[in-house]
Amino acid sequence: MKKPWSGRFKERTAGIVESFTQSISFDSRLWKYDIEGSIAHAAMLGRQGIIPKGDSRRIIRGLKEIEDEIASGTFRFRQDLEDIHMNIETALIRKIGDVGKKLHTARSRNDQVALDIRLYLRDEIGLIGAAVKDLQKRLTEAAERHIDVIMPGYTHLQRAQPVLLSHHLLAYVEMLNRDRERLSETFRRVNVLPLGAAALAGTSLPIDREYVAKLLGFEGVMENSMDAVSDRDFALEFLADASILIMHLSRLSEELVLWSTAEFSFVELPDAFTTGSSIMPQKKNPDVAELIRGKTGRIYGSLISLLTTMKGLPLSYNRDMQEDKIPVFDAVDTVKASLSVLAEMVPRIRFNRERMAGTASDAYATATDVAEYLVRKGMPFREAHEVTGRIVLHCIEKGKRLADLDRGELKSFSPLIEEDIYPYLTAEGSIASRGSRGGTSVTEVRKQITRIKRLLRT
């Protein structure tokens, strides 16, 4: 098969070079977008009189037939044709003859591939955003079902203050909401047409880029032809978004791993989402959560890979940029799979409310409530903090909990302490008092759920 550049060369491309430079093994997944872009380009060529309208119609019919063949699985991709663009163009020429050779008028594979990957990412960002929203809904439903479950909140992985499990779960919903916002903002920068830049300098032919943008649903066109073919910021931005998103999924997964240990015993993960051991019959391993945690490194690697590829490239297009697709494709597949499996698993997790509540009452978790009680009585916070610290030390030395101290013991540390302190020494009382906006009281958590449900309807 003659190469499209064969007029300049005396020798055939070496077989080892064809194998080394081919991208059809991975860019074949862009076939739908390559055809979609080519149909719009052919329509514009005919409309502008650059090629006869009859030729434009024949090209479009041929492309649609190829589309049907690929969709049905009867199309054979060829490595010697290098990439998705040449596979489809060669098939078109074979199907409709020399008229097919007119399709590539006023474009280059440089702007063609930039178009294909933008069309691909535009669709995938929408699908990922929908998957994020689905996981948000599952977490919000779990929060609502467990609205009254008390658990210890942690800082430094040390028990800190009592919180509601629902409050804890909603923290992840908020993270995921920022992920959706980031993806939405990235979508705007993806949704700009590069086609018409040709190789790098534009074209002398009277093309209509705005018409192509309208046909393909782009919000605008890229204003600099060199930037249009050399830009991969949009792909990097997507990979950065994906890295932050998978980091949030990894944090949730890490907690599920910890909480499912015998040492925590906060959750029982569903059998269908765990595995056993090939040697230890008693084991129930949180493999799904562990794999999401592990796959996070792959997406980070994809971001660093493309950043490294792009960092030293002079303008405009360089063949190095062929390496943009594998990291993007892998990140898309990994994020979608991770979101889907978590969304299926979350509703089936069983929370051990007795264990969680019992643990929340240990380790002097209401000490901050004692300090804030003294502040309400008029004591400066720093002094209240010191007094409370002495009370905690007393409890440690006597082997008592805060709630076990009688009024006389408490009053020996400050005359401001009265009988009305006792409700604040329980986990339930502590949580009920946390009524500041965004706090962990049931009232505030219900407000959060109402607000989130409203957001998820948009």
Q: What is the DSSP letter of 349?
A: P
Beta pairing class for 192-193 and 220-221:
parallel
Residue pointed to by tokens 């063609």 = 112
361 has catalytic annotation:
no
The residue annotated as part of the active site, out of 6, 25, 184, 277, is 277
Task: Return the structure tokens found at 122.
Answer: 């535009």
Task: Return the structure tokens found at 332.
Answer: 């898309």
Answer for the pair 6, 66: CB distance below 8 angstroms, yes or no.
Answer: no
Q: How many CA atoms lie within 13 A of 413 on its CB side?
A: 25
The residue annotated as part of the active site, out of 156, 204, 278, 436, is 156
User: Phi, psi at residue 280, to the nearest 5°?
Assistant: -105, 105
Taking CA atoms, 319 is separated from 23, 113, 115, 322, 323, in Å, by 11, 12, 16, 6, 8
> H or E stretch including 221?
strand 220-221
156 has catalytic annotation:
yes
Taking CA atoms, 105 is separated from 42, 45, 175, 363, in Å, by 9, 8, 47, 74
Helix locations, 73-108, DSSP H: 84-96
Task: Return the structure tokens found at 120.
Answer: 């691909």
Helix locations, 191-221, DSSP H: 209-216
Residues near 312 by Cβ (< 8 Å), separated by ≥ 6? none
Task: Return the structure tokens found at 192.
Answer: 């700009």
Report d(CA 172, CA 178) in Å as an integer: 10
Answer for the pair 375, 381: CB distance below 8 angstroms, yes or no.
Answer: yes
Radius of gyration of the chain (CA): 31
Residue pointed to by tokens 């009281």 = 441
Q: How many CB atoms lie within 10 A of CB 79?
A: 14
Q: Which residues are catalytic?
A: 156, 277
